[in-house]
Each structure stands twice: as C-alpha cells, then as structure tokens.
Structure 1
Amino acid sequence: MTTVSATMHQAHLQQLECLLTLAEELHFGRTADRLGYSQSRVSQLIATLESRVGARLVERTSRRVGLTRIGAQFVTEVRPAYRSLQRTFDRARERAMRGALAELRIGFTGMVYEEITGTFRALHQQHGVAVHTHDLPLGSPFTALLDGEVDAVIAELPVHEPELTVGFRFPAQDQFVLVHADHGLADRDSLEVEELAGFDLLHRIGDAPHYWKAARTPPATPAGVAILSTAGITSIQQGLALAASGEHAMLVCRPLVEHHARADLRALPVRGLEATSQLGLIWRSDHRTLALTALAELLVDAELN
C-alpha cells in the first residue's frame, strides 16, 4: 500500500464528519453538541485529520473559529463525496430495515412475458428493487432456487416441497396440444383428453420431481389409457422443432400458443384440460423478504387491473 493510500484510509469518517460540521457551525461547542461529542473529542478529531492531511485546516483563536484556505478548499472538495457516501449508507440501512434487496434474481423455465416484465418495472420504480432474470433448465425448475442461486422462480405448478412457498398464483390457463400442420387431426377444432393416447407426447428432461413432470406430460389419460412419450426436451424451442417434425406432439398453455404462432404448427384445445396449467411465483419458505412480498402484491394488482 502506498503512503498516499495509507493516509487516505486513516482519515476516518468521524474526522471528516467533524470537520464538515465545524465548517457549518464555526464553533467547537455547537459542533460537539450536534455530534454528541465532548469539545476535547472534537479538537482531537480535527487535530488527527490535520496530521493526516499534513496541513492546518482550522484557525482557532479566543474570539473566532474559521477554516484556513487549505481547509476551505478541502471541505469544498470532500463534502459532495461524503454526502454521496452518507446517502449510500442511508439507502442500505433502509433496505436492511425493510428486509428488502437492491435486486431480486428471478429464474424462468420459459419465456418472460410482457405482463410479467411490466410488473418488474413497477417493482423497480416503486420500491427501488431491480430484477435480474435467469434462464433455468426446462425440466429443473426448483434446483437453482433450493441451492440459493436465485431468490425466486416463476414456474409451472404444482409445488409440493415443504421448503418452497407459492407467493402468487397466475391465472390458470387452458392446455393445447401442438401438432404438425399436416397432422391428420390438425383440421379439428379441438380434441378430447382421451385422444391424447394417440400421440407421442414430449416430456421435460431434468431433475424435477416426478409429480411435476407427470403434470406436464401425463403418463395416462383420465380413463387410464397409457400415453406414449419417447422423446425428451430441454427447451421450448427444441419442443417446437420436434413437434414441427410431425413425429411428436407437445402439451402447451395458451400464452405459449399466443407467443409462438407458427405456420407449420397447429394448436388444438384439449377438452378436459381447461384451466389446468398455472404458473406460480415460488420462493424458499425460509427466505421470504419484503421485496418478494412487494413483487407478489404488484402481481396481484396487475391481475386486478
């Protein structure tokens, strides 16, 4: 460490605060009262700072207290930096008292829709919390959350893990089956849920719980007829490509259909799977913060409006 750096580090904040207050009060007694120090402590802090700077900063006589020319210049230059540092500490203390974060790390297993990003902007504008999104493996929605790599995830329900909490449930959506545009059933207006037994449905690859994967790709129809699933996917785009190949089909929700319209794919509503797909804002039960609660409340407001 250089001598200059050592000197700067030794100029404690107390010394700077004392000099800046003295520059306003121009009176050792009033400065002491304002800071809650004794007058001798104020004199000691000023003398120590002068020793660090290497010059007299304050002129003191029996009749008046004033700054030297060097002292006045030093105060002018250091005051903005000190106030900026003070504001930074105040913001950090306020966030700590609220239990809030300067940022939230939110994981996604699919697209981040406009309705959700609008809520993220509101969270930043109203609460000063920035959201940073993280792409998660399609079939592993909870691992990063449980490992502490993200603060919350927006993923498909259900969630049965006791260590996870659903802070907000998005509106439930109908499910569709995506097939190639030339598929023999592509001209139908809709399908019955039992007809899923005639498709080879794509499943998610990952370490998600079995119950969660079964909710995405049911192993059988409600009547108990087995549903074939010979291929897995790790991303939505991979699923769309495989469905477009004509060899497989994929169950998807309405928002995905609306945001991924393609001429080579046909989305058929599945009767019996109405309002069965639902996203949730999920966080660790032992890591709920006011920032996460604020985000959940904003999502509620957005839904009501």
Structure 2
Amino acid sequence: MPDLPVRELECLLVLAEELHFGRTAERLRVSQSRVSQLVAALERTIGTQLVHRTSRRVALTDFGADFVERVRPVYTELTDLVGGARREARQELPGPIRVGFQGIAYETVTWTLTRFARDNPDVTLSLQEIPLGDPFGAVLSGRVDAAVALLPVREPELSVGYVFPPAPRMLAVGHSHPLASVERIDAETLASVDLVSIDGPAPEYWRDVHFPRFTPLGRSITATVRVATLQEGMTLAATGRYAMLTCRPVAERNQRADLRFVHVTGFDEESRMALIWRSAHRRPHLTKLAALLGELPGAAPLRAAPGRATVA
C-alpha cells in the first residue's frame, strides 16, 4: 500500500481555505517555500496540477477544487478518529461539543443545552453562529459537531437527529411598505415585492425554499439585494423598500417599531429547523442532545439513515 501523503493533503486543504501561501505557511508553522514543496509533491503524486499560481493570486484548478471537496470530509473524519482514539488511550475527558446555529438560538435550544450541561458535567458545550447563507458548511468541514439549521438538507454526508416543530412563513416589511397593512398574503404576492436574498454557498435546493426566485406558480420574484446575516435582512426590510421571507419564531423574537410581519400562505410546507450532524461522526453526546430535544412538546426525533440526509 503506498504511503498516504497526509502532510501534503493537510497543506492543500489549508491553502484551499486561505488561497494565500503566506497565510497557509503561518497556519502550518512552516515556510512559504515548504508550502510550495508540499503542494508540488502532492501534484506529482496525483499526476496533475491542483493549484494555479501567479504573482498576484492563488486559485484551485477545476480538478483541484473537486479533489478538495471530496477529500475534506474524509480527512476530517480521519483526524477526528485519531484524536478520539488518543483521548481514549490516555483516558482524557471528551472534547467540547460545538453546536452551530443560524440567526438566533431560540429558548428551546438554550434551555436544552442548559439541561444537557447539567446532566453531563464532564462535557463542555460551545455555541457558534453559522452564516445564514451557508447552513451546512461548518458541519461538513468539522468546524462544528452539529448545527441547528433550516431544512431541507439533502447532503449525503449529513444526518438529521431531530426536527423542530414546523413554523408558519412570515414576510418582514417596514411600516411604510404597501403590504404592511394586511394580515396575510398568498405566496403569489411575492412576485410584487423586492425580496431580500443571501450571500453564501447555500445549495440551490435550500436557497429556493427560503429565498425563492419564483412563486409556487412560477412567477419571477425580484431580488436586488443580498445580505450575510438575519439582522442585515431585517434592517433592509425596515426601510420599507424591501421584504424578507422568514418564519414566526423569528418574527416573535424581532418585534420592533419599524417592522411588520405578514403571514404568507400558499407554500407546500412551513418552515422547519433541525439538528444535523455528519453521519460518520455521530458522537454519543450528540445522540443524548437529540434525545433531550425530543422531549420537547410538539415534535419527535427523526433519524436519517447514515449518509442519506434527504429531509425536505
């Protein structure tokens, strides 16, 4: 069996994030020339160019980008496995459970985390906000162990451990907006508004649900602005020029004098959030956390088969 170029793979994965030889060298604590050597060695091993290098910029080749996308989850799983084995061998305490969340960590989440921490005093919990426009990236890359994110999720590497109760769709508008005086609208009315969209690498199937380009009957929806965070979207909606599609829990927690929330009907499904994790890295404590969430009224745990997260 040929030697696995672990150091070279690590170097490529860091370079793919930084796209800068100097910053990559700093993270790996090596020289820039060593970074170049490692990348060149990996290219020789594979037999093709992985990185475009010029005096001004660094970019992955098409082959390199595809290779990184396939290698990253395998490399992360391998390093996690080795780290877990080392802890077990040394009888160390388990590492922190890192949970990401989109926008707002609701009371149901924070209360459950508080109970989990009380029942598992040997485990440290860490909460991190994840980008609104990248619901699954932090989980797939291993930056968090699990995430509370909006469904649907159809990534083959992810599983769903718990589904929160469905929530009605709401449209956030400013008090001067033409729709501010109505209680509810049909989804077809979205063709008459300028709907806030998002920046980020969210999958198209996910984006089409939460930041749709068309109404259910196929009418085009205008979207001239993009935001990175929920609060940016709410601020734009408050101006009265734009509208942001969201859900009732967000509306209830963002009551302010310059915003109105209008109930939107006509979609096939209501908004839902779920606790998701990597199928190949379901730590026992995550299962415990999902079980605690499952004790909340109104919903039950839902476990997808490993490698087949297809919850719509």
Equivalent in the alignment of 1:193: 187
* In structure 2, distance between residues paired with 1:94 and 1:270: 55
1:230 aligns with 2:224: yes
> Which letter does structure 2 place at the counterpart of 1:187?
S
Alpha-carbon spacing, 1:95–1:249, altered in 2? closer, same or farther (3 Å)? farther
- The structural deviation recorded for 1:94 is 11
* In structure 2, distance between residues paired with 1:94 and 1:124: 25
Match of 1:281 among 252, 275, 282: 275
- The structural deviation recorded for 1:171 is 0.5
Equivalent in the alignment of 2:128: 134
Alpha-carbon spacing, 1:212–1:123, altered in 2? closer, same or farther (3 Å)? same
* In structure 1, distance between residues paired with 2:267 and 2:90: 44
Following superposition of structure 1 onto structure 2, how do residues 238-277 of structure 1 map, counting pairs within 5 Å?
A: 238-273=232-267, 276-277=270-271
* In structure 1, distance between residues paired with 2:89 and 2:119: 14
1:153–1:283 Cα contact (<8 Å) kept: yes
- The structural deviation recorded for 1:189 is 1.5
Equivalent in the alignment of 2:171: 177
Q: Which runs of 5+ in 2 are unaligned?
A: 1-86, 300-312
1:213 aligns with 2:207: yes
Aligned sequence identity (%): 41
Match of 1:119 among 96, 100, 112: 112
> Which letter does structure 1 place at the counterpart of 2:182?
R
* In structure 1, distance between residues paired with 2:180 and 2:152: 30
1:161 aligns with 2:155: yes
Rg (Cα) greater in structure: 1
- The structural deviation recorded for 1:304 is 5.6
2:165–2:298 Cα contact (<8 Å) kept: no
2:177–2:241 Cα contact (<8 Å) kept: no
- The structural deviation recorded for 1:155 is 0.5
- The structural deviation recorded for 1:303 is 2.9
- The structural deviation recorded for 1:131 is 1.7
Match of 1:106 among 86, 99, 105: 99
Following superposition of structure 1 onto structure 2, how do residues 59-70 of structure 1 map, counting pairs within 5 Å?
A: none
* In structure 2, distance between residues paired with 1:96 and 1:273: 51
Task: Output one character per residue of 1:167-225: Cα deviation in whole Å (capped at 9) or x when no partner.
Answer: 11000100111111122221112101111110111112101111111111111111111
1:243–1:250 Cα contact (<8 Å) kept: yes
TM-score by length of 2: 0.64
- Equivalenced residue count is 212
- The structural deviation recorded for 1:93 is 5.9
TM-score by length of 1: 0.66
Counterpart of 1:303 in 2: which secondary structure? coil
* In structure 2, distance between residues paired with 1:295 and 1:161: 21
* In structure 1, distance between residues paired with 2:141 and 2:95: 20
* In structure 2, distance between residues paired with 1:107 and 1:251: 22
1:101–1:291 Cα contact (<8 Å) kept: no
- The structural deviation recorded for 1:130 is 2.8
> Which letter does structure 2 place at the counterpart of 1:108?
F
Equivalent in the alignment of 2:287: 293
* In structure 1, distance between residues paired with 2:90 and 2:277: 19
1:173–1:275 Cα contact (<8 Å) kept: no
Equivalent in the alignment of 2:309: none
Alpha-carbon spacing, 1:163–1:95, altered in 2? closer, same or farther (3 Å)? farther
Higher percent of residues as helix: 1
Task: Output one character per residue of 1:123-161: Cα deviation in whole Å (capped at 9) or x when no partner.
Answer: 111123332111111101211111111101111000001
What root-mean-square deviation, in Å, do the aligned CA atoms of Structure 1 and Structure 2 show? Answer: 2.2
* In structure 2, distance between residues paired with 1:282 and 1:111: 16
Counterpart of 2:148 in 1: which secondary structure? strand
